[in-house]
């Protein structure tokens, strides 16, 4: 066995592996404890996002009513023992709709954030590594896309594609692409001048292999920070599109759709129709922003002492 380390038997390797795995588990717990101790607000944001994720996963168990079932006898009821957060103008339980709405918001937010961040990351990686005319043309296109506010560009895309979950994900992911490309490109510009990259070039390694094998793994930190920070914006934009009727269509329960139906007509006589969905949106955005800021301070070496 040419690849086996000298002086180490197969049995010894098998014994070392579980021990190494145990050390990784201990180290992960230590890192989490340090993160919670140094960044309590970030830990609070992570706890909020974890609670929202668990709520979305176990919405069927936690809900008390069918989120799309109507009841004409229970329209616009205030919070009570039967309807914990009241009911809307069609008699649908608001508590159950908020729980199931977390699924829609997280699915759209995470899906659009990953799609936009991955595409933008690949564009930024190739643009920063190749440089020259490729970088120049790519960045001019990114300038055009980034010149429009995120909500405006998403609104245009959603209006062109039509209301559906898949179209909303695409519409929100497009404005994220230039932001992700700029962040990853700035990291690649410094990484490509490192000595190990120069050594790989000297050994005759292909450019694509260097870019994706040696440069891209070192951009994971900025990528995680970018994705976490953009998640809150994606959730907020999805709510805004649904509020305008360009987001997730009925009968899917969406926080923004709940506001669009009740905000104008029932806000004064039934304020709970607006307060609870609005609070859910604010909590999700607030939690993701706190977690994103803490991760940025932790993963960025220039901000670790902040």
pLDDT tens track for 250-284: 777 888 888 876 666 777 788 888 889 989 999 99
Is 115 inside a domain boundary?
yes
Is 292 inside a domain boundary?
yes
Domain count for the chain: 1
Is 6 inside a domain boundary?
no
Domain of residue 206: give its range: 40-303
pLDDT tens track for 205-255: 888 888 888 888 888 888 888 888 889 889 989 888 888 888 877 777 888
The tokens of 84 are what?
Answer: 């914990």
Give residues with Cβ within 8 angstroms of 284, minimum separation 6.
48, 49, 52, 102, 105, 109, 232, 235
Is 7 inside a domain boundary?
no
Q: What does the CA dihedral 79, 83, 85, 89 come to, rounded to 10 degrees? A: -90
DSSP summary character for residue 73:
G
Give residues with Cβ within 8 angstroms of 15, minimum separation 6.
none
Residue 229: CATH number of its domain: 1.10.3720.10
* pLDDT at residue 111 in the model: 93
Closest Cα partner for 214 from 227, 198, 228? 198
Is 31 inside a domain boundary?
no
Give residues with Cβ within 8 angstroms of 216, minimum separation 6.
121, 125
* pLDDT at residue 300 in the model: 64
pLDDT tops 90 at residue 137: yes
Is 9 inside a domain boundary?
no
Is 28 inside a domain boundary?
no
Is 224 inside a domain boundary?
yes
The reported pTM is: 0.80
């Amino acid at each position: 066995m040419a690849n086996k380390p000298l002086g180490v038997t197969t049995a010894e390797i098998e014994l070392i592996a579980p021990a190494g795995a145990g050390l990784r588990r201990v180290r992960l717990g230590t890192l989490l404890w340090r993160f919670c101790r140094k960044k309590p607000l970030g830990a609070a944001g992570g706890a909020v996002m974890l609670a929202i994720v668990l709520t979305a996963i176990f919405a069927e168990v936690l809900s008390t009513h069918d989120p799309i079932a109507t009841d004409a006898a229970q329209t616009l009821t205030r919070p009570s023992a039967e309807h914990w957060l009241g009911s809307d103008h069609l008699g649908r339980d608001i508590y159950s709709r908020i729980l199931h709405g977390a699924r829609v918001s997280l699915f759209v937010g995470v899906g659009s954030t990953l799609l936009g961040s991955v595409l933008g990351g690949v564009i930024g990686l190739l643009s920063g590594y190749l440089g020259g005319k490729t970088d120049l043309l790519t960045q001019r296109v990114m300038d055009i896309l980034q010149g429009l506010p995120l909500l405006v560009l998403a609104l245009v895309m959603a209006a062109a594609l039509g209301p559906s979950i898949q179209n909303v994900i695409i519409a929100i992911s497009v404005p994220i692409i230039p932001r992700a490309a700029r962040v990853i490109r700035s990291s690649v510009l410094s990484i490509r001048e490192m000595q190990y990259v120069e050594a790989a070039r000297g050994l005759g390694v292909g450019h694509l292999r260097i870019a994706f094998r040696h440069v891209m793994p070192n951009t994971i930190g900025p990528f995680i920070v970018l994705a976490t920070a953009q998640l809150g914006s994606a959730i907020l934009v999805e709510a805004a599109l649904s509020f305008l009727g360009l987001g997730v269509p009925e009968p899917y329960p969406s926080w923004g759709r709940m506001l669009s139906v009740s905000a104008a007509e029932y806000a004064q006589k039934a304020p709970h129709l607006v307060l609870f969905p609005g609070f859910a949106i604010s909590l999700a955005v607030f939690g993701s922003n706190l977690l994103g800021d803490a991760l940025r301070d932790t993963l960025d070496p220039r901000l670790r002492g902040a």
